[in-house]
Amino acid sequence: MYASSYNNSLVLCSLFVAILAAYTALNVSARIATAQRRVVGLWLAGGAFAMGVGTWSMHFTGMLAFHLPVPVGYDLTITFFSIGISVASSALALWLVSQNKLSRSKLIWGSLLIGTGVSAMHYTGMAAMRMKPGIRYSPSLFTLSILIAFFASGAGLWIAFYLRQCTTKVRLYRLGASVVIGVAILSMDYTGMAAAHFPVGSISGAAKYGVEPGWQAFLVIGVTLAVLSIASIVSLLDMRMESRTSIMAKSLAQANEELTYLALHDNLTKLPNRTLFEGRLSQAIENAEREQLTFSVMFMDLDGYKAVNDIFGHHVGDLLLIEVADRIRKRIRPEDTIARVGGDEFLLLMSEGDPEQAANIAHELVAAIGEPFDIEGDELRVSLSIGLAMYPSDGTTQHELLRNADAAMYHVKTQGRNAYHFFERSMNANVHEQLQLLHDLRLAIAHQEFILHYQPKFDVSDQSVIGAEALLRWMHPRRGMISPDDFIPLAEKTGLIVPIGEWVLNEACRQMAEWRQAGHSTWTMAVNLSSLQFDNIGLVETVRKTLERHSLDPSHLILEVTESTAMHDLEASMRILRQLADMGVHISIDDFGRGYSSLLYLKRLPANELKIDRGFVHDLVQDSGDAAIVSAIVSLGQKLNLKIVAEGVETLAQQEFLIHLGCNSLQGFLLGRPMPADMFLETVAVGACPSGVV
Ligand code: C2E
Ligand code: CA
Ligand code: CA
């Protein structure tokens, strides 16, 4: 046998080429896994070429490092054939790695095929020397080289598959893996070479007509350079694209997540919104239908929230809502959905199908919200009204369930609030009634269905009538007389209160002018203003024109605004009230004591009169607390130079008490009920009130 030797620097060179080829392959396989469908083919072809040529050139460099004492050449056709095998098995490897799943059988078959490919490339490459007589292979080393080829291919496939994902340290892992794969393939190659024995006297049949040794070095260096440059270009592009796509993908995913969250949640309380709620509700319905389950839906609305918002401003109102949401959240189970669906409206979807359990939770919620809230040092009180609808007894569709829970909630509102109630069939009539009422209300002015009643006000000192408060009545063609409490909220909700209010102002002024002409020149006329009218920019102009129209002195008109209306947006209120006061119109603060306003604010309002809320007057005699409040209001009013009016005087005892406390004027059923204008004149003018005792 010939003694063979290795050129060490070429061995190193072949190791370097092997690692580079493996590294390229790993990079390319990652690209294939994440590339778009239409470029997958391109990546696959380019990758297979680079990897195939790389592996082959590793093998060829190894052959060049191997030194025989006779001249050696390589048959070109066989050499190209071995390159072809290398490229084909590389293509197979890349294709396998780019699949979604690498099953065990695919891994085994893949390793066998690729291992065969690598071995075939190696031994075909050896055959390109066309040794005569033929190379003798040692069976054990030959088998070992084939086994190494299988295992190296398997390990390579497996590593490449798991390193496809772009994680943060992937570049480092890839480099490590390339070394492992490179060394494995190289050891296969050198084991294969070690298996080859060349009998003394054998010659290379390709030495004369094959590729010259000078060529060999040139070719290998060229190919190695090609692989190198392809590898670096690929990995450079890859690196850039990978990081760019991963950054983009990450920020896209994040933006998507945020958008989805925003689209499905309420910004303020972070509770789910109506869209999310309705999604869950329809899921619950489907589920209940399939599995014959029951569940409940609650419609909740805060009582008194508007007043808090009006008096303390939106900032405090917002904080209150957050606290309310918190209290509710703490009392429901994680599987239930609570959503904020309007200003102070919430919906609760409860998987609880037992009415008794649902009632317990509703009860707990009402109690929890009824407890005072401490918002930035202010103690605030609101309450909760809940309507309950059960699936399937109160509805089987989303629309039905929500409508009926709403109707039940509305029922609670009309029954005094701060409670819960289950839906009952009769409640739906209420909703229809409201709709009908709204329809009629729109036509009421045109049909001249409104009239004013007048309630007399009396001076405490000389018991004379000092004027009247105009109170609106709706003479409904079918239902008869409707009191303002029953339609003004509806008129306010729909904005109809503005034209209705203008009608009231005009009619009251017209009446006042008539009475003045009849000789009652000292009387004043009080007209109620709703907060919506107060917010209307045309108010001051409307008042001025109306007074002019009836040639009425402004001092004969008193405008009553409730405490909460006046305190809402204090600066704006002051501006409007100041304009009215400058005109000479008198201002009365109605329902005083019911709201939360700080008495200090009162000083800044250009008001002439305070009307103590009739709620305090009602319990005055029995309740010492109310007496203390009235007494405080009276003394404060006196200090601020305001006239104090007590309304809702129903008993002699109340009358005496109020006179004793120092009120300036009185108004109430005891002294005179609201009545039509002609009756007012008849009874009051002759000094004989229907129940007058003054
Ligand atoms: P308000 O301004 O506090 O008017 C006084 C209400 O107390 C009137 O009810 C009157 O009938 C009632 N009242 C008077 N004396 C007594 C009494 O001794 N005992 C009891 N229990 N009640 C008494 P009414 O007329 O039903 O009006 C209710 C509310 O409707 C008014 O409360 C006012 O806020 C509003 N309102 C009435 N007319 C108008 C109007 O033209 N425009 C606006 N915006 N609101 C109006
Ligand atoms: Ca009033
Ligand atoms: Ca009042």
pLDDT at position 691 is 45
pLDDT digits (tens, 9 = 90+) for 271-318: 999 999 999 999 999 999 999 999 999 999 999 898 888 788 889 999
Q: Is the pLDDT of residue 693 over 60?
A: no
Nearest CA to ligand 1 atom 25: 471
Kindly give, in sequence order, each residue whose CB lies less than 8 Å from that of residue 547, ignoring residues fewer than 6 positions away: 509, 553, 554, 557, 583, 585
Compute the average pLDDT of residues 343-356.
90
The residue whose CB lies within 8 Å of the most ligand 1 atoms, and thus the one to mutate among 647, 665, 667, 680, is 647
Among 11-15, 331-335, 405-409, 523-527, where is mean pLDDT lowest?
Answer: 11-15
Compute the average pLDDT of residues 458-474.
95
613 near 591, Cβ under 8 Å? Answer: yes
Task: Give the Å distance between the CA of 560 and the centre of ligand 2.
Answer: 6
**Is residue 528 in contact with ligand 1, taking CB distance under 6 Å?**
yes
Atom of ligand 1 minimally distant from the CA of 453: 25
Q: Is the pLDDT of residue 264 over 60?
A: yes
pLDDT classification of 210: cutoffs 50, 70, 90: low
380 near 372, Cβ under 8 Å? Answer: yes
Task: Give the Å distance between the CA of 587 and the centre of ligand 1.
Answer: 17
Kindly give, in sequence order, each residue whose CB lies less than 8 Å from that of residue 110, ignoring residues fewer than 6 positions away: 92, 93, 96, 153, 154, 157
Looking up tokens 């909700």 gives 493
Compute the average pLDDT of residues 488-505.
92
> What mean pLDDT is reported for the chain?
86
pLDDT at position 556 is 97
> How does DSSP classify residue 690?
S
* Rounded Cα–Cα distance for residues 273 and 277 (Å): 6
Task: Give the Å distance between the CA of 648 and the centre of ligand 1.
Answer: 9
Q: Which residue has the higher pLDDT, 605 or 330?
A: 330
pLDDT at position 269 is 94
pLDDT > 70 in the chain, percent: 92
Task: Give the Å distance between the CA of 487 and the centre of ligand 1.
Answer: 12
pLDDT digits (tens, 9 = 90+) for 116-154: 888 898 889 888 888 888 888 899 999 999 999 898 888
Atom of ligand 1 minimally distant from the CA of 483: 26
pLDDT at position 468 is 97
**Is residue 499 in contact with ligand 1, taking CB distance under 6 Å?**
no
Task: Give the Å distance between the CA of 104 and the centre of ligand 3.
Answer: 85
**Is residue 26 in contact with ligand 1, taking CB distance under 6 Å?**
no
Q: Is the pLDDT of residue 529 over 80?
A: yes
Compute the average pLDDT of residues 104-113.
86
Task: Quote the radius of gyration of the chain (alpha carbons, Å).
Answer: 47
Q: Is the pLDDT of residue 502 over 80?
A: yes
Q: Is the pLDDT of residue 330 over 60?
A: yes
pLDDT > 90 in the chain, percent: 43
**Is residue 360 in contact with ligand 1, taking CB distance under 6 Å?**
no
Helix axes 274-291, 213-264, angle to 10 degrees: 90
Q: Which residue has the higher pLDDT, 397 or 623?
A: 397
Nearest CA to ligand 1 atom 2: 528
* Rounded Cα–Cα distance for residues 107 and 24 (Å): 20
